[in-house]
Structure 1
Amino acid sequence: MRCKIYLENNSHAVYYAGDTLKGIVEVKLQQTKRIQGVYFIVYGAAKCYWTEERAQSRGSGGNRRTVKKAFNYEGKEVYLDTKTYLLGTPEGRQIKMRNGTYKFDFSCHLPRSLPANFDGSFGHIDYYCKAVIEIPWGFDEDYKIMFRIEQKADLNDEPLLKIPSHSEEIRQYCCLFCTTDFLIFTVTLPFTGFAPGQIIPVTVNYNNKSGIEVLSTKISLKRIIRYKGDIPHRRTNVDIEKIIEDYHDGVDGSSSVEFVKNLKLPERMINTNIKYSNLIQVSYEIKVEAEVPDCHKNAVIIIPITIGSVPLKISQSDYSVSETEINFSEPNTSEQNGNGSTIVAYPDVHSNKQAVTSPAIEGNLPLPPPPPFEEALEVIRKSPQNHVKLKDERTPEITLTPANLRT
């Protein structure tokens, strides 16, 4: 017996959420065989698993000791689970299939809410379809192939992402029995939705009257992956990946400065999927840290952002920063700093002594077209019991020969 699964008009077995999965199951028999039926399963789920070690005290008194114990956590969330009989019924009569070739059509709508495939350190999201031949008084025989789901994450569907984000941190520092004046530290983003390949303009402003020098400014983009297990009890494992990290000059203890740092996103990124999956959630954040000396605590501002496939429809004039928008007077000095960006000094409108500086914008901030989705180079997970063979470029043919079946 041989079984072949054909996916209709899909050579890479990659589908968008909302598409329809169609194809043919072909069964070839070389001799007569009795079966109960043939059914087709389409399944998709997320699974996570990890191990944590904790110290526990055992014994009492002089025999008390501390030992490490391993705790295993796991979780599962099902997104798609359909079962359709292509031949026969579970309670019906047995069917005698003579030698020959049998073909069965299948079709399954893929909901728009399906999360995209994901493979992480502590979990994964996978999808597969499987044809099962029920054998009465024997072991059923199944034939499975994997397929991938991609999400058309259009950022324009969420209007709140077009709103600028402005965060402020105010700090005072202690010097012996005295308290310094304020350090006012602000970070602004023109909007909070971005597509891979775009530029994130991060505007940082310091108004420092504390007398404490800000040594440098660290700006980073991080991906946060949360795995949520519920066995043996609820537990969340957070995996943080640093995507981009860059540095800029700080500010001395009695002056003000404003600059824009452009972060270029990679061309390939995992989309934010918080609204599609509860078990494995991918999110992003911009973290800006003002690093100060000695034992003083750094000022930190974190702004969550959303990564999607289709960029926001916003003109460049809506978010580009120009010198006139900074609302300063004409510059009276100009110099190059160590990292190559131009710092323009403006006289402070509030004081004749203090100057406020702002960098020249590093060129235009274009919105490039969204990059194409990642092509699936390997869409079928091979099994030791399966032999995979692609015969047609347009229609994949998967030939599977179970190890426990004689042909």
Structure 2
Amino acid sequence: MTVKHFSVEYDRVNDQGTYSSGDVLSGKVTVVTSKEIKVQSFLVRAKGKAKVTWYEQEGQSSVLHSNKKKYFYFEHMILQDKNKGDGSEIMGAGTKVFPFSFVIPSRDMPSSYKGKWGEITYSLRAHLTQSIWLVHKTKTEFPFLTKSEFPFASKSEMIIIGLKEQQHATRVSFCGSGKITMNVTSEKMGLKQGEAVEVSAEVLNESARSVTPKFHLCEKQTFVAQSKKKVQTKDILFGIGDAVPAESSRTVTKVLIIPPHLPATFFNCSMMNLEYRIKVTLDVPLLRNPEIKLPLVILQGSPEPLQQKTKRPTWFRKQS
């Protein structure tokens, strides 16, 4: 092969290597050839897009559901022959470096994301065409980070208001031997990546069975195409409390630490969104496990230190 090396690279503009709306995306295309070559066209493209794809079985057929959206598309011509296709442009032998730059549009666009049935990608592609039969291609993706402080605001303005508010819920379950009451509390709904929060489960077990609280971080991915919806869920166990014996009460507290690289909550993409919940279940023998879910919004940014708070008095007392 005459072309020994062909690559496209972008320059880092910050320590994270991420780009955002309004930034200048610059980089270079490197070509190494063993001898002089004729070129029909040589260009580099920048593209931002979202795409979802999945198959569903409908009767005897497998039906494709897909959708895509383009956020921006730019093309920069590095070399072009004088008459289209005549190969009159010559590139000399050796190493050649060609710089380029694009301005990313200043509009609301979602961050880079890869899910079960869809992805949001921002990429650079370079094409070097010598003839209709000989085209060299290279590609790289660059991480894009939305500038929107609240990329979920379109879901509900009430989410923004409640980010720092305490969240709590109560559930009462009945089994053959008595009543089980659980109250779950988290200190706030909005957490930054890497941040920690205490989650408490207060259990009043008036049954004849021992119950065990379990704490989960729940992820929900939703994809939409052609009026069809596909949902992918995943539960991450982050704590198991001590068992609450029959005819007793106990408060169990676990610390949820948001993984630093877990993608932030977003709803600013029309084809997919990502949301989270805190879920606490009670493991009850021979009974469908009761559960409580609390809303959770994961925010971009550096975590705040966990604030140690004085424990509140138990909200119930066992009745004699």
Normalising by structure 1, we get a TM-score of 0.59
Q: CA deviation at 1:42?
A: 0.5
Cα pair 1:41 1:131 within 8 Å, conserved: yes
The CA deviation at 1:255 is 4.5
Greater C-alpha radius of gyration: 1
In the alignment, which residue of structure 2 is the partner of 1:42? Answer: 46
Q: Are residues 1:243 and 2:236 paired? A: yes
Closer/same/farther in 2, CA of residues 82 and 273 from structure 1, 3 Å limit = farther
Aligned to 1:162: 164
The one-letter code matched in structure 2 to 1:105 is F
1:193 aligned residue (177, 190, 193): 190
The CA distance in 1 between the partners of 2:258 and 2:99, in whole Å, is: 46
Deviations 1:152-173 (A, max 9, x none): 7897995632111112223455
Match of 1:228 among 214, 224, 230: 224
Aligned with residue 73 of structure 1, among 47, 58, 65:
65
State the superposition RMSD in angstroms: 4.3
Deviations 1:75-106 (A, max 9, x none): 32333322344566999998943454684533
Give deviations 1:119-153, integer Å, cap 9, x for gaps. Answer: 44433333321234577x95684533212214378
Shift of 1:190: 0.4
Give distance in 1, aligned partners of 2:244 and 2:82.
75
Q: Check whether the contact 1:154–1:308 (CA below 8 A) recurs between aligned residues.
A: no
Is 2:123 the partner of 1:128? yes
Q: Is the 8 A contact 1:292 1:298 kept in 2?
A: yes
Q: Distance in 2 between matches of 1:146 and 1:13?
A: 16
Q: What does residue range 357-396 of structure 1 map to in structure 2 within 5 Å? A: none
Structure 1 residues 39 and 112 mapped into 2: Cα distance closer, same or farther (>3 Å)? same
Answer yes or no: is the 8 Å Cα contact 2:211–2:244 preserved in 1.
yes
> Conserved in 2, the CA contact under 8 Å of 1:186 and 1:206?
yes
- Equivalent residue in structure 1 for 2:271, among 259, 262, 279: 279
Q: State how far apart, in whole Å, the 1-side matches of 2:196 and 2:116 are.
A: 28
What is the rounded CA distance, in whole Å, between the counterparts of 2:12 and 2:214 in structure 1? 49
Contact 1:45 1:126 in 2 (8 A): yes
Number of the residue aligned with 1:322 = 310
- Normalising by structure 2, we get a TM-score of 0.72
Between structures 1 and 2, the one with greater strand share: 2
Unpaired runs of 5+ in structure 2? 152-159
Alpha-carbon spacing, 1:74–1:261, altered in 2? closer, same or farther (3 Å): same
Equivalent position of 1:7 in the other structure: 10
> Which position in structure 2 is the counterpart of 1:310?
301
Q: SS of the residue aligned with 1:162?
A: coil
Q: What's the CA shift string for 1:356-385, capped at 9, x where partnerless? A: xxxxxxxxxxxxxxxxxxxxxxxxxxxxxx
Aligned-residue offset at 1:109 = 2.0
Unaligned runs of 5+ in 1: 57-67, 329-347, 355-407
Would the aligned equivalents of 2:192 and 2:304 in 1 still touch at CA under 8 Å?
Answer: no
Q: CA deviation at 1:197?
A: 3.9
Partners of 1:116 and 1:221 in 2: CA distance:
22
How many residue pairs match? The answer is 304
168 and 227 in structure 1: CA distance in 2 versus 1, 3 angstrom threshold: same
Task: Report the alpha carbon displacement of residue 301 of structure 1 after superposing the two structures with TM.
Answer: 1.0
Contact 2:39/2:91, CA 8 A, preserved across alignment: no
CA, structure 1 residues 124+154, in 2 after alignment: closer, same or farther (shift >3 Å)? closer
Percent of aligned pairs sharing the same letter = 18
Letter in 1 for 2:118: G
C-alpha change, 1:264 and 1:33, in structure 2 (3 Å) is: closer
Distance apart, 1:214 and its partner CA:
5.6
CA distance 1:277–1:38, change in 2 (3 Å): same
Q: Which of 178, 193, 203 is equivalent to 1:206?
A: 203
